Amino acid sequence: MTRFATLLSTGLLALTASASLSADTGSRLWATGGVTSVGGAAGGGLSPWALLGGYASDEEWGGTLTLSRAATDDYTLSVVGAGVTWNNRIELTLARQTLDLDSLVFTLKNGFGLEEDELVQDVFGLKVRLAGDALYSPWGQWSAGLLHKRNREFTVPDAIGAEDDSGTDIYVGGSKLFFAAVMDRNLLVNATVRGTKANQGGLLGFGGDRNDSYEAMFEGSVGLFVTRQWLVGTEYRQKPDNLGFATEDDWWDVFVAWVPDRRLSITAALVNLGDVATLEDQRGAYLSLQASF
């Protein structure tokens, strides 16, 4: 915990310092780049949105750097991510996820004879804005994307029945900001459909003994801009259930994001990941820091 706090604060200082160096962060309006999801793509915390990361408008480049952490009862997930966006058209992202197994270490050792204490995965993301603008188009903004995920260590997923150590999610999403929608506040609505074989986002491999084919999953979120700097909302992400050794639950969260200006955002959330790899009812806190340049 202390190590991570140090890492976070050092990282944040470095990020804001580097972001401050470049005065131009792009022209899209504040908070319209969303934040960085656990998979690296711009979105909420759990789900990619149709918005592209950073603030690049149609004649600009932009980028983001992110540090996130979710600490539930028995797990800790850390994500380091980076992304670039060109002309508000194409977003490329990279993310490394590290799941500290904490309590599961004993289950793995006693049940499977495995001596692993963390799972690490890299995610390479591509998102293309197909049509529309979340703010200005009556029908909103529509994007499609790929998230190619690779386990760096497959011993644990293999032992619990996963079929593959890599997989690619494909998704289509729509985002729309409704001005002065609720008590004269702007309301952001996102819906995403994802085709995936990933177990727990891919950290437990891809496909399994129970199911080894792509399934369509629904993800949605709503957020209300209390002011242009404060966004509160909730997210839901449906999940497949491919592994026989433990059931996999859908994820949801309640979040508040603070976007003091374009260069920085801080997101805090209460997350509920349900049952994860035999450990029940994983709830916890999520914190994410993002710098844009």
Partner 1 sequence: MKHSVIIMVLLPLLVLTGCQSMVESNQQNASLYQQLGERSGIADIVEDLLYRIVEDERINDQFRGIDVRQFHTNLTDQLCELSGGPCTYSGRGMRESHADMNVTDTQFNALAENLILAMEENGIPTGAQNRLIKKLVPLYPQIRNL
Residues that bind partner 1 (CB under 8 A): 27-29, 57-60, 71, 88, 133, 135-137, 179-180, 183-186, 226-228, 230, 232, 254, 256, 268-270, 283-285
Q: Measured from the CB atom, is 152 or 283 closer to partner 1?
A: 283
Q: Measured from the CB atom, is 87 or 211 closer to partner 1?
A: 87
Q: Measured from the CB atom, is 54 or 167 closer to partner 1?
A: 54
**Nearest distance from C-beta of residue 226 to partner 1, angstroms:** 5
Q: Measured from the CB atom, is 179 or 218 closer to partner 1?
A: 179
Strands (E), the chain: 35-36, 42-43, 61-72, 76-86, 90-100, 118-131, 141-151, 166-182, 185-196, 215-225, 230-237, 251-261, 264-276, 279-292
**Nearest distance from C-beta of residue 196 to partner 1, angstroms:** 28
What does DSSP assign to residue 164? Answer: B
d(CA 215, CA 62): 33
Instruction: Report the SS3 class of residue 289.
Output: strand
**Nearest distance from C-beta of residue 142 to partner 1, angstroms:** 16
- Structure token digits, residue 105: 């270490």
Instruction: Please answer whether residues 162 and 186 qualify as being in contact, where contact means their C-beta atoms are separated by less than 8 angstroms.
Output: no
**Nearest distance from C-beta of residue 60 to partner 1, angstroms:** 6
Cα–Cα nearest to 34, from 257, 254, 218 = 257
**Nearest distance from C-beta of residue 263 to partner 1, angstroms:** 15
**Nearest distance from C-beta of residue 168 to partner 1, angstroms:** 30
Q: Measured from the CB atom, is 230 or 245 closer to partner 1?
A: 230
**Nearest distance from C-beta of residue 129 to partner 1, angstroms:** 11
Q: What angle do CA 46, 81, 171 make, to 5 degrees?
A: 45
Q: Measured from the CB atom, is 186 or 265 closer to partner 1?
A: 186
Compute CA distances 102 → 109, 157, 267, whole Å.
12, 16, 24
Spell out the residues 6+ positions from residue 292 whose beta carbon is closer than 8 angstroms to its own: 19, 25, 26, 33, 53, 54, 55, 62, 63, 64, 262, 263, 264, 265
Q: Measured from the CB atom, is 246 or 259 closer to partner 1?
A: 259
Q: Measured from the CB atom, is 99 or 271 closer to partner 1?
A: 271
> How many Cα atoms occupy the beta-carbon half-sphere of 260 within 13 Å?
7
Three-state secondary structure string covering 49-101: CCCCCCCCCCCCEEEEEEEEEEEECCCEEEEEEEEEEECCCEEEEEEEEEEEC
**Nearest distance from C-beta of residue 27 to partner 1, angstroms:** 4
